Amino acid sequence: MSNAMVMAGVAGSPIEHSLSPVIHEAAFHALGLAWRSERFLVGLGQGADFVTMAKERGLRGFSVTMPLKSELLDLVDWVDSSAWRLQSINCVAIEDDQTTGYSTDGEGFINWLRYDAKFEPKDRHCVIIGAGGAARAVAAALADAGAAKVGIMARRHDQVERACVMVGAVCSSVTEEDLEMADLVVNATPQGMVGTAHADSMPCDPRRVRHDAVAVDLVYEPLETAWMLALRSTDHVVFGGLGMLIHQAAIQIELWTGAEAPIPEMVKAINAVMGERQ
């Protein structure tokens, strides 16, 4: 793809370690598109200039990461209902010089949950650890998929309350004791992430997770966190965050290209890169 044109990318700060271009370019190559994806270093307050530049360069869209997810709400021409509900954008599509902001994390999580984990959320009891943007997206998607209860466990009560308002009536604040009732437990915090102050910590006591529950850690660097390893040591069913990363990106690919995302090729590309990093 040496002669490919930059038609997509990922914007945010920091951005140098983002895996989005790897996933994007694997999809473009499989679809026969001579497109490239680029990392764009864009800090808080620089969103407007970046959107203008993206239009001028003819980009078809870009992924959005911190710290721009809220800033772009006021900078795009249209906001999809899912992004408006969560007050967060993680994808922008550009067509005929018009920009539309989307939130693909929640739908991507549910698609992955059904596709790989073979878990159907309907009528299930789910607990999300964390109350940030990813946690809210996952919680809202689980509620929309028919979960009976969606509990949010986090230290900041104001964030939990805000998330519950966004998600709806099935959502409530829970404590670690409630983990024993959950069919699905999702870590949506940075606990266990490489390169952070939380690298060696766990989001909760793994002994609290019911033995037949499905556990998901949205962290994907490392591929196996300390929490995941502790759960696996007692034969829990555990998944890392690469699945959600790929499936939310697949929705973005479809928004930009109009073609079905080649998920197997995207998985192969990201596994190769992660294998080199470990």
pLDDT tens per residue across span 130-141: 998 889 999 999
With b meaning 16 or more CB within 10 Å and e meaning fewer, what string describes 55-93? eeeebbbbbbbebbbbbbbebbeebbebbebbebbbbbb
- Please report the pLDDT score of residue 66 as a whole number: 87
- Please report the pLDDT score of residue 32 as a whole number: 96
Stretch(es) of the chain classified as CATH 3.40.50.720? 106-240
Q: Which of 69-73, 87-91, 108-112, 198-202 has the lowest mean pLDDT?
A: 198-202
Does the pLDDT of residue 195 top 80, yes or no? no
- Please report the pLDDT score of residue 206 as a whole number: 94
240 and 224 Cβ atoms separated by less than 8 Å? yes
Burial class for 166, CB neighbours closer than 10 Å (0-12, 13-18, 19+): middle
Give me the residues paired with residue 187 across strands.
129, 217
Stretch(es) of the chain classified as CATH 3.40.50.10860? 5-103+246-277
> Cβ–Cβ contacts within 10 Å for residue 172, how many?
13
Give me the residues paired with residue 186 across strands.
128, 216
- Please report the pLDDT score of residue 190 as a whole number: 85
What is the arithmetic mean of pLDDT over 49-60? 96
Does the pLDDT of residue 145 top 90, yes or no? yes
- Please report the pLDDT score of residue 199 as a whole number: 76
> 69 catalytic, yes or no?
yes
- Domain 5-103+246-277 CATH class label: alpha beta
pLDDT band per the 50, 70, 90 thresholds, residue 17: confident
Per annotation, catalytic residue among 69, 118, 122, 268:
69
Give percent of the chain above pLDDT 90.
84
The pTM score is 0.91
Alpha-carbon distance of 110 to 58, in angstroms, equals: 31
- Please report the pLDDT score of residue 221 as a whole number: 83
pLDDT band per the 50, 70, 90 thresholds, residue 204: very high
| 106-240 belongs to CATH 3.40.50.720 | yes
pLDDT tens per residue across span 206-217: 999 999 999 999
Does the pLDDT of residue 3 top 80, yes or no? no
